[in-house]
Amino acid sequence: MSIHKKRKIHNFHVPLPEELYNNLKKEAMQFHMAATELARYAIAFWLKKAQKASLHKAISEYAAECAGTEFDLDKEFEKQSINLLLSKKGSVS
């Protein structure tokens, strides 16, 4: 048995317009990789970016909801954090 776990792979048929297909093949050739590999990379990259944006949105919404409530930043903690950031900014040459 291999020391590496086998990941389950699923096929996903994606019909592409001819221009997009040709552009994908062209880019893949430039990077010396299969078009399928480049498509997989592009999808993973986009999903990671979308998930990061979704998390940022959720955090921003939570922060807006909590502003001014008991769940807002502690005023002293906020003041000390700002002072620390300003002191670090001033120490950069």
Which tens digit of pLDDT belongs to each residue from 29-57? 999 999 999 999 999 999 999 999 999 99
Q: Give how many domains the chain has, as a whole number.
A: 1
Residue 86 lies in a domain: yes
Domain range enclosing 29: 18-91
pLDDT on residue 6: 81
Cut 0.85: pTM above it? no
Digit-coded pLDDT (tens) for 6-36:
889 899 999 999 999 999 999 999 999 999 9
Residue 8 lies in a domain: no
Residue 3 lies in a domain: no
Instruction: Indicate the DSSP class of residue 31.
Output: T
Residues near 35 by beta carbon (within 8 Å), at least 6 away in sequence: 24, 25, 28
DSSP sequence for 59-71:
HHHHHHHHTTSTT
Residue 12 lies in a domain: no
Residue 21, phi then psi, degrees to nearest 5: -60, -45
Above 90 in pLDDT, residue 2?
Answer: no
Residue 81 lies in a domain: yes
